[in-house]
Each structure stands twice: as C-alpha cells, then as structure tokens.
Amino acid sequence: MNIIDLFLLSIIQGLTEFLPVSSSAHLILVSEFLDSSDTGIVFDVAVHLGTLLAAMIYFRKEVTGMIRGLSFNQKNQEETHQLVNILVAVLPILVLGFLLRDFVDQNLRSSEIIAYATIFFGLILLWSDKIKTTSNNINLITTKQAFIIGLSQCFALIPGTSRSGVTISAALFLGIGREAAAKFSFLLAIPTIGAIAASELINLSIKDLLNQGSDLVLAMCVSFVIAYLTIDVFLKIVNRFSFTPFVVYRVLLGVWLLSYWV
C-alpha cells in the first residue's frame, strides 16, 4: 500500500469508527476502489490502536472511574455499576466475534451485503430516533439494558451495519437519550476495539513490525487524531440534531451500491 492510500484509509477509519455509517463497509469499498483490498495486518493493528487510544484518552475520566470501580468499594458504586455494564455488554460480541469471524470474512464482505445492511440498519436508526426517550443519564442504564445493547452490537459483524449505529439504535429503543446512548456506545467501543487489536497483534510478527514500523506509526497517529476529533464533534452536536442526515447518507450510499456496483 502506498503512502497516499495509507493516509486516506487511516482518515476513513478514524472518521467512520464512531459515526453511525460503518467503518468496515467504507474501508472495504474504498480499498476496492483504490485496488488495495489487502490492507495488511500492520494497517489493521495501527488504525485499531489509533481509534482505541482516541476513545481511551477522550473518556479518560470515565476509564479512570471504572478502574476505581474494580475495588467494588461502596464509595465507587456508580463507577462499579458502569464497569459491570460495559463488561456485560461486551461479552456477546467477544463470543460471537470469535466464533463467526472466519464466516464473516468469507461470506459477508460483498458489495451487495454492504448495500442492504447500509440501507436496512440506516432505517432502523431513523426509526429508533423517533422513540420518546425517558433518561439521558448514562449512570441510569441498567445491567439488563446494557446486555441488550451488547447483543445488538453483534449485528455489527455484518459489514455495512455500523457498530456505533446499531448500539445507539438499541439504546434509543430502550428509552435512553441520544447523548447517553452515544456515550455508552463509545465507551463500549473501548473493550471491543481493544479485543480486535489484541487478536491482530498476536498475528503481527517482529519482522512485519520492523519492516513496516513507519507505516504503523503514521496510520495510528492519523486515525487517532481523526477519531478523537470525530468523538468530540459528534457528542457536541448529538443533542442538537437528529440522526436523519446519517440515515439519508446511508440510504443514498446503499442505493448507489445496488445500482452501480451490484
């Protein structure tokens, strides 16, 4: 992969990881367009580390709080509750992701699948955005609600679904407000992306690291900066605007794929 393709794909990963538009779909489509369908393990590790660091640093207060929650001290009750919610929510994707990873890679990465998933889950997001919410406090999310949101995240194994989009939709259906839904989705991304990065790091050889170290650093830095800015902007506007612009974009993208690529 040349340096321009690496830079562009890193921007796309950082931008789409936390927006409800599906990062996997955009990486697949743009990679095919650039004729760089095999991005390589180094790139995958780098962009996932970049987006992981962006979420951890942006939510450093919440991450530190959840670490304190490990003590299960009465004084840290809220932090413990939030930690338990995140752990409960991440379990389904860890199990199904491990069991279905090869199946997804071999059978669900086509333009047709991406097109239908992009449209369908975009409309689900539109529907969920019409639901009347009762709370916008992330600390009021119950463990049962967290588990349901975690189950919904399993649909993100299908390229075109969008991990953030489907978890935000699930939270909205449960009556959780936009800001709390987005924040919980982004916090849930930390262990999810962390697990992905860890599984990829295992397959990264010392030789790959030495030969492509500069590529790794560049991709990680670019995806980190873009992801951090995306989280910040998205959370600032999420209560002011509906998700309709993202839905319109998804539907137009899906229709274009069906008419042109499929």
Look up residue 140 and give its DSSP letter. G
User: How high is the pLDDT of residue 26?
Assistant: 86
15-50 residue pLDDT tens: 999 999 988 888 888 877 777 655 667 778 889 899
Q: What mean pLDDT, rounded, does the chain reach?
A: 88
In single-letter form, the type of residue at position 86 comes to: I
Structure tokens at 238: 């999420």
Decide: 230 and 10 in contact? Cβ < 8 Å: no
78-100 residue pLDDT tens: 889 999 999 999 999 999 988 88
Other CB atoms within 10 A of residue 98 CB: 11
**CB-based contacts of 224, cutoff 8 Å, min separation 6:** 14, 50, 51, 53, 54
In single-letter form, the type of residue at position 203 comes to: N
Structure tokens at 231: 């989280």
Decide: 168 and 209 in contact? Cβ < 8 Å: no
The alpha helices in 59-76, defined as continuous H runs, are 60-69
Average the pLDDT over 131-139 and give the result.
Answer: 87
Taking the CA atoms of 168, 170, 173 and 174 in sequence, report the sign of the dihedral they define: negative
The burial of 221, by beta-carbon neighbours within 10 Å (0-12 exposed, 13-18 middle, 19 or more buried), is given as: middle
137-194 residue pLDDT tens: 899 999 999 999 999 999 999 988 999 999 999 999 999 999 999 999 999 999 999 9
Q: Pick the range with the lowest mean pLDDT from 103-117, 134-148, 223-237.
A: 103-117
Decide: 116 and 254 in contact? Cβ < 8 Å: yes
First to last CA, the chain: 26
Domain coordinates of the chain in residue numbers?
Answer: 3-261
Please choose, from the candidates 138, 252, 236, the residue with its C-alpha nearest in 3D space to the C-alpha of residue 188: 138
User: How high is the pLDDT of residue 260?
Assistant: 76
